[in-house]
Amino acid sequence: MWLVDMRAGQQGPPHFYDAEQIWHLLEGDVDIAVDGDHVALSPGDTLILPAGTVRQVSAHTDVRLVACGRGNAVVAVPGEAASRGVPAWIE
């Protein structure tokens, strides 16, 4: 489990993990593109992202999310030849 803080206007790259994740929005308003569909989250909303689901997070306001998932999950970016490995913040 880890916290994700984003500033208003910040956007992450499209990416996916090899494991399911559960995201819960604590503060702010965020849009998450999930396999091309857009999901708007408000405080208190929870989103389950199955393994292999491409997602891109866009913060409309300052945002704080709690993300839960396997501690050894590997992240990859579509179009890149190799994965990016396990992000430091979830090890």
Q: 82 lies in which domain range?
A: 2-90
In sequence order, the 6+-apart residues with CB closer than 8 A to the CB of 67 are 1, 2, 3, 4, 21, 22, 23, 24, 90
**How many structural domains compose the chain?**
1
Write down the residue that tokens 């396999």 correspond to: 35
Say whether 59 sits in a helix, a strand or coil: strand
pLDDT tier at 91, thresholds 50, 70, 90: low
Nearest residue to 75 via CA among 16, 20, 21: 16
Q: pLDDT at position 84, please?
A: 86
CATH of the domain at 15: 2.60.120.10
Q: Do the beta carbons of residue 74 and residue 82 sit within 8 Å?
A: no
pTM of the model: 0.87
